[in-house]
Chains A and B, each alone.
Chain A
Amino acid sequence: MTYTFKLNDRIFKITLEESDGQIEVEIDGEKIPVDYKKIEDNLYSIILDGRSVTLGVFKKGKKIQVFLDGDLYDLESISEREQRKSSLAASGVQEIKAPMPSRVVKVLKSEGDEVKRDEGVVVIEAMKMESELKSPIAGKVRNVMAKEGDAIETGTVLMVVASDTPPAE
């Protein structure tokens, strides 16, 4: 079976195959024999090129969290159609979303304002701390939904930024 994952904004293709009672994995065209074992529901042991790696794995729908060497990786299993859509979004229009339940402290940009990449656009407060949400792209503010004082939920769209250059179709 072949799976496509999005990880750190990159797309990886991986095929799991059984041959001669061994698992063979093909990642982006490279074939590797793998020895793996499930230790607990969320804990896998993988031996790869002689290296013993213990990983935490948590799957929820299409999203899979993998804890590898101290860091948590968010992987998403995607279909080919979703793959095309996501590459469009990266270059074209970006929604600034609330990363957690919080409160809008200040909206730093208005409709039509120019923004630089990584420039702060909205200040939110959660867990008694203020954080600045930054624009992932350079461009112009297309819409502003956030209002100061708003209580917002995870995923609430606060602002929409469109890039200067139209996305390549």
Chain B
Amino acid sequence: MFKKILIANRGEIAVRIIRACRELGVSTVAVYSDADRRSLHVALADEAYHIGGSAPGESYLKKENVIDAARKSGAEAVHPGFGFLSENAEFAEMCEKAGIVFIGPTPEAIRLMGDKITARKIAYDAKVPLVPGSEGAVSDVEASVVAGEVGYPLMIKASAGGGGKGMRLVRSKEDFESALRMARSEARSAFGDESVYVERFVEQPRHIEIQLIADSYGNVLHLFERECSIQRRHQKVIEEAPSGFISAKTRKKMGDVAVKIAKAVKYKGAGTIEFIMDQKQNFYFLEMNTRVQVEHPVTEMITGFDIVKWMIRIAAGEKLPFKQGDIKMNGHAVECRVYAEDPGTNFMPSPGTIEYLSTPSGPGIRDDSAIYNGCEITSFYDPMLSKLIVWADTREAAIDKMASALREYIVLGVKTNIGFLRRVMADEEFRQCKIDTGYIERHPELISPGERDLRPALIAAAIAMENSTASGPQSQTAAASSWKLFARRSGIMRSPLA
């Protein structure tokens, strides 16, 4: 096992990896940008190195700076997490050359699966079903020709893409040109590469993916599926495992196919094969993510398999001691991504300072988070605050548990999607698993709370005003003492709880 690992990431995933390392007895090295000096991953790691400016391009994406930090710290391996350099073949190569183990697949596997067009070819050769579309990256002129052939609705996707960035759904010919421009511009700024391809859009598709784990000895296992159909802006918001929709037969078919793709590229480490599925359980290969996935915890909850720890063990040369038949799933897990965003303005990010935070706890509740009271949510990075994950014996019970846990989640200072998530948990269609990637668009009524008794909010605001008026200048201590004053005046001090 390694003695020291550098975590080339930030936020909750960096914290998640630091915890896994610590449990394995490995010391940890954090890297951070200007904006992240006060971030939790820096505080939790054993060592920390500054690697540049706040913009990702000046720090977390600067391969040389990360490698330098690894050299300086004497880390033997680098865990890239997700996003940033996690699917960057060149970075994996640089690690190799510097004698540092990249915790993930080989540069070659990343390159093959990272290029969506090559990945489609590999899947095609492995006889995995594909959605009809362009044979590769297309020019503007070619794109409109292919669009004519494939028909509407269609998707424009960034060749180097992932996480919904550089992706556009186009419903009619009139919108094609502007969507193409937006997709290219997003792709350019997110990946530095504006090539895009075009494919048919499957109506009412469900997003179902298979988690894989493979060692360096040719053993490839799948850890069943996750359903991630609840998305906004083509980004996942709610994920669950197992899917409440597919049959055992489909599950086996998908698992087998996924293993076949992984074997075709001599895959090692954790990876995910994403599929879209129509309402008849026909599934089509979408892409492979050659890294740990944001939603990996739901799989961990139903299998008891620690994916992050196994990524590290496999990179250290350990062999998987399990066979496919040893992997069992138990119960149901749901994950909600808590974002700093305003559902009311098309889920626009809402940066700011966390002025107050209270998080849920209880049996079967896990909060993978890197936020704390007073921490800053900057506009430099993804607005995800935390992942709330619950486990229970059935899907229904897991949804009830999530609904209950969300009631205990309070965030002040930035807008969040917590209220929206609560309404989804209560929605009959979601509860009956009648979901697809168009679910959120189809349910605008869940975006805002609608008509509700606002008196408590007004009363609380008036009390807050009264409190500060009485205190004059708004110093913390003055406010507290004047509260006592006000409380005494209003007689609540008589309560035995006061």
Question: Is the pairing of A and B real?
Answer: yes
- A residues adjacent to B (C-beta < 8 A): 1, 3, 5, 7-8, 12, 14, 16, 18, 21-23, 25, 27, 32, 34-38, 40-44, 46, 48, 53-59, 64-73, 75, 77, 99-102, 105, 123, 125-132
What residues of A have a CB within 8 angstroms of the CB of B458 in the complex?
5, 7, 12, 14, 27, 75
What residues of A have a CB within 8 angstroms of the CB of B494 in the complex?
21
Does residue B1 face the partner (Cβ distance < 8 Å to A)?
A: no
Q: Write out, one digit per residue, whether chain B residues 474-486 have a CB within 8 A of any chain A CB (1) or not (0).
A: 0010011001000
- How many contacts A-B (CB < 8 Å)? 185
What residues of B have a CB within 8 angstroms of the CB of A16 in the complex?
462-463, 466
A131 touches B461 (CB 8 A): no
| A64, A102, A105 — most chain B CB neighbours (10 Å) | A64
Q: State whether A44 and B463 are in contact (beta carbons under 8 Å apart), knowing that A18-B491, A36-B492, A69-B452 are contacts in the complex.
A: yes
What residues of A have a CB within 8 angstroms of the CB of B460 in the complex?
36, 44, 46, 55, 57, 64, 66, 68
Contact partner of B410 (CB less than 8 A), chosen from A43, A125, A129, is A43
Q: State whether A126 and B379 are in contact (beta carbons under 8 Å apart), knowing that A43-B410, A70-B418 are contacts in the complex.
A: yes
B456 touches A55 (CB 8 A): yes
Contact partner of A43 (CB less than 8 A), chosen from B346, B356, B406, B418, is B356
What residues of A have a CB within 8 angstroms of the CB of B97 in the complex?
none
Contact stretch, chosen from B73-81, B183-191, B434-442: B183-191
Among all A-B residue pairs, the 6 with the closest Cβ atoms: A21-B491, A70-B419, A71-B419, A42-B356, A66-B457, A58-B412
| A66, A69, A128 — most chain B CB neighbours (10 Å) | A128
Write the nearest CB–CB distance from A43 to chain B, whole angstroms.
7
Write the nearest CB–CB distance from A56 to chain B, whole angstroms.
4
Write the nearest CB–CB distance from B268 to chain A, whole angstroms.
29
A5 CA / B457 CA spacing, docked (Å): 11
B490 touches A21 (CB 8 A): yes
Contact stretch, chosen from B64-72, B219-227, B347-355: B347-355
Contact partner of B185 (CB less than 8 A), chosen from A27, A67, A130, is A130
Write the nearest CB–CB distance from B293 to chain A, whole angstroms.
18
A67 CA / B409 CA spacing, docked (Å): 10
What residues of A have a CB within 8 angstroms of the CB of B445 in the complex?
none
Q: State whether A130 and B182 are in contact (beta carbons under 8 Å apart), knowing that A16-B462, A43-B410, A58-B355 are contacts in the complex.
A: yes
B189 touches A56 (CB 8 A): no
What residues of B have a CB within 8 angstroms of the CB of A21 in the complex?
490-491, 494
A-B contact pairs, 6 of them (CB 8 A): A1-B466, A22-B490, A58-B413, A72-B415, A75-B458, A127-B383
What residues of A have a CB within 8 angstroms of the CB of B233 in the complex?
129
Q: State whether A57 and B459 are in contact (beta carbons under 8 Å apart), knowing that A18-B491, A126-B379, A129-B165 are contacts in the complex.
A: no
Write the nearest CB–CB distance from B475 to chain A, whole angstroms.
12
Does residue B324 face the partner (Cβ distance < 8 Å to A)?
A: no
> What class of interface size applies to chain B in its complex with A?
35 or more
* Cβ-closest chain B residue relative to A108: B178
What residues of A have a CB within 8 angstroms of the CB of B480 in the complex?
41
* Cβ-closest chain A residue relative to B164: A129
A51 CA / B346 CA spacing, docked (Å): 32
B412 touches A68 (CB 8 A): no
* Cβ-closest chain A residue relative to B423: A70
A100 touches B379 (CB 8 A): yes
Q: State whether A48 and B190 are in contact (beta carbons under 8 Å apart), knowing that A56-B410, A101-B379 are contacts in the complex.
A: no
A77 CA / B182 CA spacing, docked (Å): 40
| A5, A37, A44, A68 — most chain B CB neighbours (10 Å) | A68
Contact partner of B186 (CB less than 8 A), chosen from A3, A59, A72, A130, is A130
A9 CA / B447 CA spacing, docked (Å): 18
B407 touches A53 (CB 8 A): no
A68 touches B457 (CB 8 A): yes
Contact partner of A64 (CB less than 8 A), chosen from B165, B379, B381, B461, is B461
What residues of A have a CB within 8 angstroms of the CB of B422 in the complex?
69-70
What residues of B have a CB within 8 angstroms of the CB of A41 in the complex?
356, 476, 479-480
A48 touches B410 (CB 8 A): no
Q: State whether A128 and B355 are in contact (beta carbons under 8 Å apart), knowing that A3-B462, A7-B454 are contacts in the complex.
A: no
Does residue B449 face the partner (Cβ distance < 8 Å to A)?
A: yes
Write the nearest CB–CB distance from A68 to chain B, whole angstroms.
5
A124 CA / B413 CA spacing, docked (Å): 23
Does residue B98 face the partner (Cβ distance < 8 Å to A)?
A: no
Apart from A18-B491, A68-B456, A127-B381, 20 more pairs, CB < 8 Å: A1-B462, A5-B461, A7-B457, A14-B462, A36-B492, A40-B356, A42-B355, A56-B411, A58-B356, A64-B464, A67-B410, A70-B406, A70-B418, A99-B348, A105-B185, A123-B182, A127-B351, A129-B165, A129-B233, A130-B182
